[in-house]
A and B are shown apart, each in its own frame.
Chain A
């Protein structure tokens, strides 16, 4: 009964006219950035963050969340029509979606992507509603040592799941933790690594770093590669999939939703992993695996469902534990903190209207997306025709305004450019930016809990091993680390053998 009451409370909040409006704007803007390659949800959320300062926290988060799941919807459109994923999570949709478009079946491909996203997104939200409060209630009882162990596990998982060799990912994570110590020490008030800069006293903000490493660096990368795209010129008709299409897709949608939900809870690029896993599962289960890559509709339905379920599930660790699972969640965490709200175990009891309002707005937003996406596809296609050469200066301008407006501080622009350059060079050197940014966000919380644990335990490190939950997290982190190190060593060993 409790849940029902809470859902009613949530709908009461989400159906307020202002919240309906911001939800609509969020999903519309989100779809647009999902459609446009080069402008992802990270840059879009960063840009709109300053605008949300004047809103209530509920409206702010409803809008920012809308951008996130809206982008997942929009990403499929570019994958299918242009063979360029608007979003990393839509890469795999290119394989069969674009082939379907070439066979004149762009309509059903876009249709099944929208329906699958809607069904799996809704399932993900139900899972979020059921699981997050439970986890939050359990998490109230955990103390600083468990938190430290949990963050060690989260960071280890991020490095394990990121691109490239684990050593490089670990280096990025530790560098992120180190950069996270810049600013006023929260316990003693001592200044650290500020080098006389007033801006650095507040620490390095997540928005300029995220915009730099993921917005500006992406543009630099595209400029260097000189990307061009061609839209597959076809008449899009009949967006509604046929009965046969449904028969081939329904299982894929359900399996995609389940895989996506569980992958979404993990830290790291979970929506992308969910989409790839779903594709692999569908190919294996299919009676005609040879059709995959040549326009199999299940190859579109599964991954698109999985990435939407994952994007709903990614809210669970953020809202119940205060641990962001990906970059977008880290930005949302920043947004909540700007509004004076600390996500974590106490979130549900302190801000029930916020949690239930945001979650129920996601139902409404998913419905809006379904209604919005199908009739507006023609408009998105014309948006896609804007050449990148005209688009990128505008994207850069938006990044500049977004970062400046955060604190009306031009130094933040400089910080963004420094991280933009660093992000571009690190990409060339094959370092993944995700562990860095998540560590930067978690760093201050990690340090606080570590120092508190050591003070409580009088400097005895065994405090992390004698408490059962903390021991479980540490052992799990150790296993993840051992797995990645041993696979790296095996690879090296094989190379050495091959040389001899």
Chain B
């Protein structure tokens, strides 16, 4: 069995089944007068068929020569970065762009890139402040003020 294709096929099959369920809740119409549900239903069925074909080929794959994937060198870094980005998403509006971007950068530079404290704090402060000034003040693209809204 080929693991990568099995996981991929299964994920897309689930997406297709969700698509089928949701499309059936919409009016379908007819071939003469297609309504909003028809096109997504057809796509979901097509996707389900193709994902099943991928699953079948993954299961019937008989070559044992699949290498244990040598790519997992630093997956921890990816998950921590993602968590930090989600933290930024949650914090940005209540705490404001300036503070949340500063915290995000310090975390990424110090914890993920292992830079020293002075560089991490310095680069983060300069980058957060300058992007805020350029985007919010100069280019008039409003960024959330949060705690600094005074």
- Assess whether A377 is interfacial by the CB under 8 Å rule: no
Chain B positions 1 through 37: 1 when the CB is less than 8 Å from some CB of chain A, otherwise 0: 0001101100010011001001000110011111111
- Assess whether A325 is interfacial by the CB under 8 Å rule: no
- Assess whether A413 is interfacial by the CB under 8 Å rule: yes
Contact A225 B71 (CB under 8 A): yes
Contact A393 B43 (CB under 8 A): no
- Highest count of chain B CB atoms <10 Å: which of A404, A414, A421, A450: A404
Contact A429 B4 (CB under 8 A): yes
Measured in the bound complex, the distance between the Cα atoms of B40 and A447 in whole Å is 9
Surface stretch bound by B, among A38-46, A66-74, A181-189: A181-189
Contact B47 A178 (CB under 8 A): yes
Contact B50 A167 (CB under 8 A): yes
Measured in the bound complex, the distance between the Cα atoms of B39 and A417 in whole Å is 28
Contact B101 A451 (CB under 8 A): no
Chain A positions 44 through 76: 1 when the CB is less than 8 Å from some CB of chain B, otherwise 0: 000000110010000000000000000000000
- Residues of B near A168 (CB, < 8 A) are 5, 8, 54
Minimum Cβ distance to chain A for residue B61 (Å): 9
Measured in the bound complex, the distance between the Cα atoms of B143 and A54 in whole Å is 16
Interface size on B, residues (CB 8 A): 70
- Residues of B near A428 (CB, < 8 A) are 4, 69, 71
Measured in the bound complex, the distance between the Cα atoms of B40 and A499 in whole Å is 41
- Assess whether A224 is interfacial by the CB under 8 Å rule: yes
Chain B positions 49 through 91: 1 when the CB is less than 8 Å from some CB of chain A, otherwise 0: 0110110010000110000010111110110011001101100
* Chain A minimum-CB-distance residue to B140: A54
Minimum Cβ distance to chain B for residue A438 (Å): 15
Contact B46 A174 (CB under 8 A): yes
Contact A192 B36 (CB under 8 A): yes
Contact B71 A410 (CB under 8 A): no
* Chain A minimum-CB-distance residue to B6: A429
Contact A226 B43 (CB under 8 A): no
Contact B54 A192 (CB under 8 A): no
Chain B positions 88 through 121: 1 when the CB is less than 8 Å from some CB of chain A, otherwise 0: 1100110000000100110011001111000100
- Residues of A near B143 (CB, < 8 A) are 401, 404-405
Minimum Cβ distance to chain B for residue A364 (Å): 24
Q: Which residue in A170, A178, A187, A430 is a CB contact (below 8 Å) of B36?
A: A187
Contact A413 B92 (CB under 8 A): yes
Contact A394 B73 (CB under 8 A): no
- Residues of A near B142 (CB, < 8 A) are 408
- Residues of A near B26 (CB, < 8 A) are 190, 192
- Assess whether A389 is interfacial by the CB under 8 Å rule: yes
The number of chain A residues touching the other chain, given as a range, is: 35 or more
Contact B35 A397 (CB under 8 A): no
Number of A-B contacts (CB under 8 A): 173
Main secondary structure of the interface of B (DSSP, over half): helix
Measured in the bound complex, the distance between the Cα atoms of B88 and A413 in whole Å is 9
Contact B141 A405 (CB under 8 A): yes
- Assess whether A175 is interfacial by the CB under 8 Å rule: yes
Minimum Cβ distance to chain B for residue A395 (Å): 10
Chain A positions 218 through 257: 1 when the CB is less than 8 Å from some CB of chain B, otherwise 0: 0110011110000000000000000000000000000000
Chain A positions 370 through 412: 1 when the CB is less than 8 Å from some CB of chain B, otherwise 0: 0000000000000000010110111011101100110010100
Minimum Cβ distance to chain B for residue A50 (Å): 6
Contact A389 B114 (CB under 8 A): yes
Minimum Cβ distance to chain A for residue B20 (Å): 10
Q: Which residue in A177, A220, A393, A414 is a CB contact (below 8 Å) of B78?
A: A220
Surface stretch bound by B, among A103-111, A262-270, A333-341, A453-461: A453-461
Contact A394 B33 (CB under 8 A): no
Known: A171-B50, A393-B113, A397-B127. A224 touches B89 (CB 8 A): no
- Assess whether A486 is interfacial by the CB under 8 Å rule: no
- Residues of A near B140 (CB, < 8 A) are 54
- Assess whether A493 is interfacial by the CB under 8 Å rule: no
Contact B39 A451 (CB under 8 A): yes
Contact A450 B12 (CB under 8 A): no
* Chain A minimum-CB-distance residue to B106: A393
- Residues of A near B112 (CB, < 8 A) are 223, 389, 393
Measured in the bound complex, the distance between the Cα atoms of B84 and A420 in whole Å is 14
A-B contact pairs, 13 of them (CB 8 A): A174-B47, A389-B114, A393-B113, A393-B124, A396-B81, A397-B131, A404-B143, A410-B92, A420-B85, A450-B34, A450-B39, A455-B33, A461-B31
Known: A216-B85, A410-B93. 18 other contacts (CB 8 A): A168-B5, A178-B43, A190-B26, A192-B22, A192-B36, A193-B22, A223-B112, A224-B75, A225-B74, A226-B74, A393-B105, A410-B144, A429-B8, A430-B4, A430-B8, A458-B32, A459-B30, A499-B62
* 3 closest cross-chain pairs (CB), A and B: A389-B113, A459-B31, A393-B108
